A and B are shown apart, each in its own frame.
Chain A
Amino acid sequence: MIEIQNLSKSYGKIKALNNLNFVVGKGEILGFLGPNGAGKSTTMNIITGYIPSTEGTVKVCGFDILENPREVKKRIGYLPEHTPLYSNMTVIEFLKFISDLKLVERSKKKNHIYDIMELVNLADVRGRLIKNLSNGYKQRVGIAQALVGNPDVLVLDEPTVGLDPKQIIGIRNLIKDLGKKHTIILSSHILPEVSAVCDRVVIINKGEIVAVDTPANLSKGFRNCSKLQITISGKRSLVEKTILNINGITDISVDSVADNEVIKYIIESSKDIDVRESLFFAMAKAGYPILESKPLNISLEDIYMQLVTDEKEVIS
């Protein structure tokens, strides 16, 4: 659906994007993840034809954005950063204006707008001025605006920024629903959002792609050991000795100590062995009760931090 090849963008000497390559398949929700200033918005502005690239090609549904901009623009609905809206218009006036702008046929216009307002839950506020709406509703108007003209591809730049948690969940569910019919590229610097909504993630930093994969694969690939947080009551030295004797356990460290010798340990084991059973029997045999046990999964957050944090930056 969207093919991006060798995409670069320079502002004078500053390279904002450097040789980006990725493909978005039909019906996919792609998360575009990176810290602020990584080049997310620049990439999206190029895909939607707002700014031209310095090098490389962007193809949407087979049409090149530089050679055939109108065909591409017909197929893309864009929600830019900061959601531009005419605040002195009512919701319905604004959507009518956008459908005129997107050259929606006049006979279909009315039904089309009502369908969209139904879909994104705006029907109740259709007669209200946009400036009087809450941020959540404004964002919905922004998404509605992107849906006008029924584009195959939706490009949403930070769609949940500035919303309260309840509104965020609402918008996320909406995006998931839209993903059934549209191909979506979504940018965000909020990790849980991406893992909650997206099929695949592109992580970029300083204009370069550092990883492309599904959220699940990313977590798997980055785990070279599995970790277990476990609380055991018993004398520390003896417990540690027993645990280290169990096959597959590579390391043990103390996380925190409560009184009466109740200690929380972090146990590391090799990736492919599940040590929980043998741990249970070993502890039962030795007479040290396990009070609590919890596997620690590496989260997308850890991967992200590993990928986008330079070692140099950490030192300084």
Chain B
Amino acid sequence: MYAILKNELKSYFDSTIAYIVIGLFIFLTSVYFFLGNIYNQSSDLSSLFETMGTILLFIVPILTSRSISEDRKNGMEVLLITSPSKLSDIVLGKYLAVLSVFFVMVIITFIYPMILLLFSEQIIIPLIGEYLGLILLGASMISFGVFVSSLTENQVVSSIVSFVGLLFMMIIQPISNSFGGTISKVLNWFSIFSRYDDLNRGILGTNTIIYYLSFISVFLFLTISAIEKRRWSKG
């Protein structure tokens, strides 16, 4: 796991992808922070966090699209699978690598609340919930993206499919409610964004945390299964 994680991180930061994505994220959030908080003289960060969730919708597919598909395309998958490392460790390593890039972005955003702290100290407690929500949301989106990238060897397809999938999860709640019954329950399971809004509003429940953690586990498990299944069915 450690080998994969180290290697993936290296390739993210050796290429320009990580820098471009992190730069883009910071640029957009900074603009929003300036307009929403500095310019309007507001110390409420919840709308900034909401926007960050939306920006992640565009950024996560770019980060995860190469995760597993690239190794499949250049044949390295054979070496990974025939090595004595466990498949679960390999997938976990790849997942944690993307997660680490995401953490770098999250850490940089600490600068916004710090600026506000100069003027007001009341923001600390809601901040914990907001950051927890952001991290859980990002981690879930990444697990979905990694799963999608295990389904194809084409990076473009991978990023488009995970973008569409995540977009679907974003708009799913109003749609699913119109169905009613079991379908609505099933569809609601995917609505990672509605729960994020809850966290953002300061509703911090263990069930929400458990929900996100199980969402991540399910998609990591599906990723491993997808790779296993391909081994068994083709070659």
Contacts and interface: CB of A to CB of B under 8 A. Distances in A.
Contacts of B81: 49-50
Interface string B58-90: 000000000000000011111111111110000
B74 to A, nearest CB: 6
Contacts, number: 74
A97 interface: yes
A101 interface: yes
In this complex, the member of A42, A76, A101 whose beta carbon has the largest number of chain B beta carbons within 10 angstroms is: A101
B180 interface: no
B231 A80 contact: no
**Interface of B (DSSP majority class):** helix
Interface stretch (B2-10, B166-174, B204-212, B215-223): B2-10
Contact of A101 (B15, B77, B85, B235): B85
A191 to B, nearest CB: 26
Contacts of A52: 231-232
Contacts of B84: 70, 73-74, 102-103, 149
Contact of A84 (B2, B15, B75, B235): B75
B42 interface: no
Contact of B80 (A11, A42, A101): A101
Interface residues of B, number: 26
Interface in A9-25: 11
A32 interface: no
B205 to A, nearest CB: 40
Contacts of A82: 75
A176 B82 CA distance: 24
A88 interface: yes
A78 B78 contact: yes
A51 interface: yes
A73 B82 contact: yes
Nearest to B87: A69
A174 B131 CA distance: 57
Contact of A145 (B4, B77, B79, B232): B79
A51 B235 contact: yes
A45 B79 contact: no
A103 B6 CA distance: 14
A48 interface: yes
Contacts of A101: 3-4, 79-80, 83, 85
Nearest to A157: B78
Nearest to B71: A84
Interface in B1-53: 2-4, 6-7, 10-11, 14-15
In this complex, the member of B3, B76, B77, B231 whose beta carbon has the largest number of chain A beta carbons within 10 angstroms is: B3
Nearest to B75: A84
Given A50-B231, A70-B84, A78-B79, A97 B7 contact: yes
A294 to B, nearest CB: 46
Contacts of B77: 84
In this complex, the member of A51, A98, A145 whose beta carbon has the largest number of chain B beta carbons within 10 angstroms is: A51
Contacts of B6: 97, 100
Interface of A: 11, 42, 45, 48-52, 70, 73-74, 76, 78, 80, 82-88, 93, 97-98, 100-103, 145, 149
Given A52-B232, A73-B83, A84-B77, 8 more contacts: A42-B235, A50-B235, A51-B234, A78-B78, A84-B74, A84-B76, A85-B76, A100-B3
